Structure 1
Amino acid sequence: MLGGLIKIRGDRCWRELTCMDYHYETQPVPNPISYFMHRSPWWFHRLETLVNHFIELLVPFFLLLGRRMAILHGLLQILFQVLLIISGNLSFLNWLTMVPSLACFDDASLGLLFGWRLRERSGSCVRRVLNISLGLLITYLSIPVVLNLLSSRQVMNTSFNSLRIVNTYGAFGSITKERTEVILQGTSSLDPNDPTAVWEEFEFKCKPGDLRRRPCLISPYHYRLDWLMWFAAFQTYEQNEWIIHLAGKLLAQEEETLSLLATNPFAGREPPRWIRGEHFRYKFSQPGGKHARDGKWWIRKRIGPYFPPVNLQGLRKFFEDRNWPYPVQD
């Protein structure tokens, strides 16, 4: 429900039913199915958004309407998460979201599914007292959560007690309308401003880079660095100083850092003298179109520099000011 509220109160495209026009292309790490889902008809994207609102805003109330509706709630929520898993690499988040839904299924429903026979169990009164006590505790702890939801200054992704039993969480309250990517490039040229300098790209394991590389399929596994690069792309490097830290480690060709990447264009050669970040706008190619026939899943257009060329010597003070270990070339 909280995920639905943050959407309704957030980006207007959720209210206009247009967010799914952009989501598949601009989500953190698209997968191959995202490519085709993005090209669905406009009416299908509107239907998807309506279904999202129905699942996140109305279905949670099914829990209050008796056993059968609670079971229906569990089925719908699990099906919804499965669809999200299929359509994008949202790491382990959707898998974890399915876990609470398992509580919607009682022994009778699970026994019918797996062919179990129910047996009379002792201690039903004790169990009932424990259930009621737990319900009262959660109700009490949820008071500040409910007040927060009704507030005009609603706070999301926050815990309301030290045990973190109750909290507010909501994702994708706003949708980016264009996908931008930071592409890290290195050169062996002495002068980074030399127009003849050859810049070679470092390829990450999953995030878009090489236009001809098929989007990856990794869920529930999570490439943390690729995910962070998505956030960095719609911010500045001043807001993400870690990316300069990454550039320094790539300049030093540190093995642990290189293991986080898919390809290193300087493998078996002298380390790069300079590394820069370039900013590109990425879009899915049209299935069956010219670029797709050339084997390109993506098309891109350069926006400009993301951060200027840096070398190890020039980064020394930057590292020292932040008490970061200065990378040393092997």
Structure 2
Amino acid sequence: MLPREVVAFLVAYDQNKQLIGEKGLLPCKLYLQSVKRYFKGKVGLDALSFAPTIIWFLDWSDMDGLLDGISVCGLLISAFVLVAGCANMILMGLLWILYLSLVNVGQIWYSFGWESQLLETGFLGIFLCPLWTLSRVPSYSPPSRIVIWGFRWLIFRIMLGAGLIKIRGDRCWRELTCMDYHYETQPVPNPVAYFMHRSPWWFHRFETLFNHFIELLVPFFLFLGRRMCLVHGVLQILFQVLLIVSGNLSFLNWLTMVPSIACFDDASLAFLFSARPGGAKERLARMQGRRAAGERLPPTLGCYIRRVVNISFGLLIAYLSVPVVLNLLNSRQVMNTSFNPLRIVNTYGAFGSITKERTEVIIQGTSSEDPKDPAAVWEEYDFKCKPGDVRRRPCFISPYHYRLDWLMWFAAFQTYEQNEWIIHLAGKLLAQEESALSLLATNPFAGRAAPRWIRAEHFKYKFSRPGGRHAAEGKWWIRKRIGPYLPPVSLEGLRKFYEDRHWAHPARP
């Protein structure tokens, strides 16, 4: 789990200032102020339960520094635990609180299922560790079976939820045709997806059937004894590896491997550990020997407290699972939803529907005085990873995550009115703001005067055919213009729009 948290806090440090900072596309300070106003200007239990974050109790005068501080603290703690190879409840609890604090002010940028999944996995990880000692192997007893089954319950819900939402959602999952489209229309394809898309029709049918097998049947292996539980763990991890190879789904697939590890016991994982004297394997053997001899835990107060904590943990998970189970049983199942503000037990699901055509929003700028001038030259901004330049090879980026690129995929089948941050981005590009430009791969106006107008055009994208004419010309994509997406805007024309939303109006350089 910790490598995923390192990546998550690294992404937060790299991108939060540009997305939710003082001059971010959706400033979190304005969001918290609106929450505070809704609750009559008080930061009480109501506001805290609506948006649980430690930022409520900190100084907002330098929000960029505050966001960086939270991200750096989380990055350092998770990196320490990763290098040390051990943790305790205090460190894991701090990591969970820090990331929860970012997620609950991240707004749309943090609105996806893997954020809740990381938080739930992190919460379970707290109870997997000793209270304050740092030890790779516990002195007397293994982690509670309640916690182990907490992880197994998580992977069961993740996979079954994903399977059910597909069967109940898009008919192409029932007709076994969804994989005909998925590789081309997924949020951020990679080069492997380019070639997988051209697989024969029968292979796509097999992929869909295999997906249903993994998500709808394999989860029940957890309850069929040790051997089937091991088979479940192996299949789920291999399935996630296949998804990683064929797409850029952030750290979702990497993260989904973590609860699958709970399917394995000490005997099945022994080959991973060194047999050197004093090593983890020897210490584990001694611990198991003491247990086999009937040696009991020392009757200390701490042991009794830990038992009470574990039982309370199990009861809490059971209680919070009730609405999640009801959602799984509901024909109107919703996916990637939290039923409690702390996101301890959530409902999951991915690709309940598949888009059949890929559309992209392409942002362009011009130095022309008149945007309606037929002679105006419109130059394109390219994003870090999402499709744009048809000659640019699709990227490999997982487990790193470009949040802006991801949201642009959703914006392409919505309108700019539903995504006001696009207008905010347009203003920042007009002002050549370095923070906003750092989210993009190219600035066609670098070293020149800022553009006078920014617009967005709507295009349909299709993979070129490997070995075909377009591929021979170096084109990975073929695109066709659909029409305008965002009409041309200027800095002066955006002034009132910015004032109404209390956004800082950027100045032309």
Which category of TM-score, normalised to the shorter sequence, fits these structures?
over 0.9
Given candidates 295, 298, 318, the residue that maps to 2:477 is 298
Letter in 2 for 1:223: Y
Deviation at 1:138, TM superposition (A): 3.4
Distance in 2 of aligned mates of 1:143 and 1:315: 48
Q: What is the match of residue 254 of structure 2?
A: 95
Q: What is the match of residue 266 of structure 2?
A: 107
Q: What is the match of residue 67 of structure 2?
A: none
Deviation at 1:38, TM superposition (A): 0.4
Q: What is the match of residue 75 of structure 1?
A: 234
Letter in 1 for 2:418: Q
Deviates more, 1:159-168 or 1:282-291: 159-168
Distance in 1 of aligned mates of 2:333 and 2:453: 46
Q: Structure 1 residues 13 and 318 mapped into 2: Cα distance closer, same or farther (>3 Å)?
A: same
Q: What is the match of residue 31 of structure 1?
A: 190
**Residues 66-114 of structure 1: CA deviation (Å, up to 9, x unaligned):** 1111111111111000100000111111111111011111111111454
Q: Structure 1 residues 161 and 203 mapped into 2: Cα distance closer, same or farther (>3 Å)?
A: closer
Letter in 2 for 1:61: F
Letter in 2 for 1:184: I
Distance in 2 of aligned mates of 1:257 and 1:243: 11
Which has the larger helix fraction?
A: 2
Q: Is the 8 A contact 2:178 2:208 kept in 1?
A: yes
Q: Is the 8 A contact 1:254 1:329 kept in 2?
A: no
Deviation at 1:150, TM superposition (A): 1.6
Partner of 1:263, secondary structure, is coil
Deviation at 1:259, TM superposition (A): 1.0
Distance in 1 of aligned mates of 2:468 and 2:263: 46
Q: Is the 8 A contact 2:491 2:508 kept in 1?
A: no
Q: What is the match of residue 278 of structure 1?
A: 457
Q: What is the match of residue 166 of structure 1?
A: 345
Q: Structure 1 residues 207 and 4 mapped into 2: Cα distance closer, same or farther (>3 Å)?
A: same
Q: Structure 1 residues 281 and 132 mapped into 2: Cα distance closer, same or farther (>3 Å)?
A: same
Deviation at 1:147, TM superposition (A): 2.1
Query: 1:314 and 2:493 equivalent?
Result: yes
1:1-330 to structure 2, matched below 5 A, reads 1-114=160-273, 116=281, 118-121=285-288, 122=290, 137-330=316-509
Unaligned runs of 5+ in 2: 1-159, 276-280, 298-302
Letter in 2 for 1:30: P
Partner of 1:175, secondary structure, is coil
Letter in 1 for 2:218: V
Q: How high is the sequence identity, in percent, across the aligned residues? A: 81
**Residues 17-36 of structure 1: CA deviation (Å, up to 9, x unaligned):** 10000000001110010100
Distance in 2 of aligned mates of 1:188 and 1:243: 20
Deviation at 1:163, TM superposition (A): 4.3
Q: Structure 1 residues 66 and 320 mapped into 2: Cα distance closer, same or farther (>3 Å)?
A: same
Distance in 2 of aligned mates of 1:289 and 1:226: 28
Distance in 2 of aligned mates of 1:269 and 1:141: 56
Q: Is the 8 A contact 2:184 2:194 kept in 1?
A: yes
Partner of 1:262, secondary structure, is coil
Distance in 2 of aligned mates of 1:278 and 1:133: 55
Letter in 1 for 2:490: N
Distance in 1 of aligned mates of 2:184 and 2:358: 7
Q: Structure 1 residues 187 and 40 mapped into 2: Cα distance closer, same or farther (>3 Å)?
A: same
Distance in 1 of aligned mates of 2:323 and 2:441: 46
Deviates more, 1:152-161 or 1:36-45: 152-161
Unaligned runs of 5+ in 1: none
Deviation at 1:157, TM superposition (A): 1.8
TM-score by length of 2: 0.62
Letter in 1 for 2:371: P
Q: Matched residue pairs, number? A: 330
Deviation at 1:282, TM superposition (A): 0.2
Partner of 1:302, secondary structure, is strand
Letter in 2 for 1:274: W
Letter in 1 for 2:173: W
Distance in 2 of aligned mates of 1:164 and 1:202: 37
Q: Is the 8 A contact 1:31 1:87 kept in 2?
A: yes
Deviation at 1:238, TM superposition (A): 0.7
Which has the larger strand fraction?
A: 1
Q: Structure 1 residues 134 and 49 mapped into 2: Cα distance closer, same or farther (>3 Å)?
A: same
Distance in 1 of aligned mates of 2:478 and 2:268: 49
Letter in 1 for 2:178: C
Distance in 1 of aligned mates of 2:237 and 2:337: 24
Distance in 1 of aligned mates of 2:296 and 2:350: 40
**Residues 238-290 of structure 1: CA deviation (Å, up to 9, x unaligned):** 11111011000000000111111111110111100111100000000000000
Deviates more, 1:142-151 or 1:286-295: 142-151
Partner of 2:479, secondary structure, is strand
Partner of 2:425, secondary structure, is helix
